[in-house]
Amino acid sequence: MWDPVSDVLRQRFRVIRYDLRGHGESGSPEGPWTLGDFVADLLEVLKRYDASRIHLAGFSIGGLIAQRFAIDHPDKLERLAIVSAVAGRTPEEKAKVAQRLENIREGHYEVNIEASLERWFSPDFREKHPELVEKRIALLRNVGRQSGYLEAFKVFNTSDLADELHRISAPTLVMTGEEDPGSNPRMAALMHSQIPGSRMEILPGLRHSLLVEAPGLMAERLNGFFAEESV
């Protein structure tokens, strides 16, 4: 998903990407996992590439990992972009994500996939780019049957850092799609209000999969934000 955005960013920056544990080519250690485990993985990546201070962008569960990293390791962070992430779920929102977790446990992948189509892509994009939508869904079908995906989703289900966001000190950009029902504008506004000096951008007409539906816009926003001089 990050390919088109990374192609732009690497014209100015050194770009490091990695598969989360349980995804892609990364291993899947025995669970249960915590959000802290994902942060520890990121620290190992930075150590491997000798990166002492970074700009960090996290999408979806990556946005949760980025929040935790920013809170716990401010000395390693220059700028932070939280993209399509969650904070301050309501009881109704908690119930919905808990049901998705139960569907994964019971092997009801297609139920989640059908719901994901609605959350991730605007109707117009689905109609005009069916091949990109199907490619994304194929990835979900593949990873959704792996044990690591279940463990990762447990972390996504149980993690909420709304009460700690005030501890983030790095210059922060919070972005989400105007029509994203899961990582919705209310959550983005909460993050923005809690993170001192942060800025927020709600992208009109877009849903969850900003990296797929609007890669050019995402690259422009991230490139501009990371290129700014911190005060």
Contacts 24+ apart (CB under 8 A), 93-101: 93/182, 96/182, 97/156, 97/157, 97/182, 98/157, 100/153, 100/157, 101/150, 101/153, 101/154, 101/157
- DSSP-based three-state secondary structure for 200: strand
- DSSP-based three-state secondary structure for 208: coil
**Mind listing the pLDDT tens digit for each residue in 76-97?**
999 999 999 999 999 999 999 9
| Helix-strand-coil split of the chain, %, nearest 5 | 55, 10, 35
Residue 48: what pLDDT?
Answer: 97
**Mind listing the pLDDT tens digit for each residue in 154-186?**
999 999 999 999 999 999 999 999 999 999 999
Rounded distance between C-alpha atoms, residue 115 and residue 113, angstroms: 5
Outline where 31-184 has alpha helix (H). 35-48, 61-72, 91-105, 109-120, 123-128, 130-144, 147-158
Query: Domains in the chain and their CATH numbers?
Result: 3-227 (3.40.50.1820)
Residue 104: what pLDDT?
Answer: 87
Residue 140: what pLDDT?
Answer: 82
Judged against a pLDDT cut of 90, whether residue 107 lies above it is answered with no
**Nearest to 11, CA basis, from 216, 223, 192, 156:** 223
Selected residue with higher pLDDT from 103 and 75? 75
pTM for this entry: 0.94
Residue 230: what pLDDT?
Answer: 59
Judged against a pLDDT cut of 80, whether residue 226 lies above it is answered with yes
Selected residue with higher pLDDT from 104 and 170? 170
CB environment 45-61: b (16+ within 10 A), e (fewer): ebeeeeeeebbbbbbbb
205 Ramachandran zone, left/alpha/beta (phi>0; psi -120 to 50): left
